Amino acid sequence: MSFKNKSARWSNSKHRWLALIGGFSLLAWGLSGLTHIAMVLFGPQQGQFMPPAAAIELTQARPITETLAANGITEAVAVKTVPAADGTALWQVTEEPLAPRRYFQPSDGIELADGDRQQAEFLARHYLATDRAIISATLQTKFDADYPWVNRLLPVWKIEFEGDDQLTTYVHTETSSLAAVNNSTKKALQTAFRALHTWEWVPEGMDWLRVFVIALMVGSLFALALTGIVMLLTVRRKKHIPGSKGWHRAMSYILALPLIMFSASGIYHLVQSALVPPGSQLLMGQPVNVARGAWPVERDWAALSADRDIASVSLVEGADRQALYRIGLASTRSTMGGGDHDHGEHGHSLNVSFASTEPGHPTPTTDAEIREARFTGIKPDASAIYIDAATGEVTPEGDPDIALSIARRFSGARDGAVTSMELVTRFSDEYDFRNKRLPVWRIDYAEPVNATLFVDTASGVLVDRVADWEKPERLVFSMVHKWNFLFPIGRLGLNAVIGGFVIALIVFMAILGLRMDWKNRKRQKRSRR
């Protein structure tokens, strides 16, 4: 018997043997994959994309250093301006990473009672553009099934609105962003996705069993596709076979490669996630000694703000651990930039929060534009002035110097280990939209770190850390599993293409394949009688 015939017989026998488990696996992961697309396309939608505006005017304001001292605050993780409901700015003070933020009026230094909850409610109403009654607002400091780790941000305020749809938002007041938005429909889709696609219902102590069973089932899809390709190459048909078998074979020429892409990248992602359990890498910096801020920035505010559009003011730590005022300069609010697009494992509704954007495209206003924009990068000009909080002198340090000092603190490595650094203004496979912050500085390290750190100079935060060995999997998962190589056609087009291929796989591979397998089994039973 020739090699071609041997290959045909071998692949045919194995293909039939794999049909049952592979067919049911394809139904499970295909249908649950469609729930992911449904969450993204038809989930609850925010009404506003950009954060609220804030006019920063500190000319007649009480010095923030006096306000902090009067309230017994000598150290703080973050001190910065944030937008208020009346269009002005408030001082936001973070004493502990997971504690409610405190808010002070710049004019007189008076603290707002229950300020963090009020700020969260204001932001929730702004982003959803709703005047619905709020029935509850609770501070959440842990991830859970409805707000999983892929959202990265903690603490958040969980705000539930009145209505039968159980509209719920998660607001991160530290970044003035809408971290997630859910309703009853999306919760049901999320539950199905976790149950059928990621199997998060398996107890934590039995994660090895989850990995083994999923790898076996998804591996059967990969083997099913490979044996099917061998059959296509070795078994030639002179004419189209009628019925299910003919359609199954005809569509295999189109669907075999997508099936391999989904299954192989899924196994790769599963194995890497088992080796290094996924989790948020976000870390806030050490407390800044705000008591050193002897020079009041408010005193020279008129001269400082002349002919400048100031987007933010914050107290940060310099390279020598000295307190610095960071004066963030804004560009035009009315435009936004594009970028690589990605979507999270649970399809949460997310946005990026910035005061300025890149010329080129108008600010998104329609539902379709906002859905697209949530997953693209915003490019602020992001230039900043640093002023010594003790002397009032403009420092020679700029954003690159501050970024390097932040990375040095979190990596523990010397600057000589840095191979490159750049300002990141768009999302990509290595730094995707789930991080919710732009711009950030990317610092690449060689030995002994062998990783890339993404840091936010405006607040001294380590946003993400990606080890070098993790990068290939991120690229494969983004491009091969999520098909983000199609991002030029837009988010709606990409999801339509993926959804079409998944439906075709379910119909022509799973349903027709299982029907053929059932007929073969019936035929074999009759022949044994």
Averaged pLDDT for residues 196-209: 84
Q: How far apart are CA 85 and CA 54, in angstroms?
A: 9
Which region among 81-95, 152-166, 352-366, 409-423 has the lowest average model confidence (pLDDT)?
352-366
**Residue predicted with more confidence, 353 or 250:** 250
Q: pLDDT of 283-297, one tens digit each?
A: 888 888 887 767 888
Q: Which of 188, 38, 189, 42 is nearest to 499 (CA)?
A: 38
Q: Is the pLDDT of residue 242 over 50?
A: yes
How many Cα atoms are found within 13 Å in the side-chain-facing hemisphere of 352? Answer: 33
Residue 371 near residue 491 (C-beta atoms within 8 A):
yes
User: What is the predicted pLDDT for the residue at 334?
Assistant: 32
> Can you give the pTM of this predicted structure?
0.79
Could you read off the pLDDT of 154-167 as tens digits, one per residue?
A: 999 999 999 898 99
Distances in whole angstroms, Cα of residue 450 to Cα of each of 89, 226, 429, 443, 447: 41, 36, 18, 11, 5
Cα–Cα distance measured from residue 44 to residue 483, given in angstroms and rounded to the nearest whole number: 24
pLDDT at 352: 33
Among left, alpha and beta (phi > 0; psi -120 to 50; other), residue 436 is left
Nearest CA among 384, 409, 404 for reference residue 315: 384
User: How much of the chain exceeds pLDDT 90, in percent?
Assistant: 31
Per-residue pLDDT tens over the stretch 106-143: 999 999 999 999 999 999 999 999 889 999 999 999 99
Residues 508-516: what's their mean pLDDT?
77
As a whole number of angstroms, the distance between CA 131 and CA 146 comes to 24
> Binning pLDDT at 50, 70 and 90, where does residue 331 land?
low
At residue 395, the pLDDT reads: 86
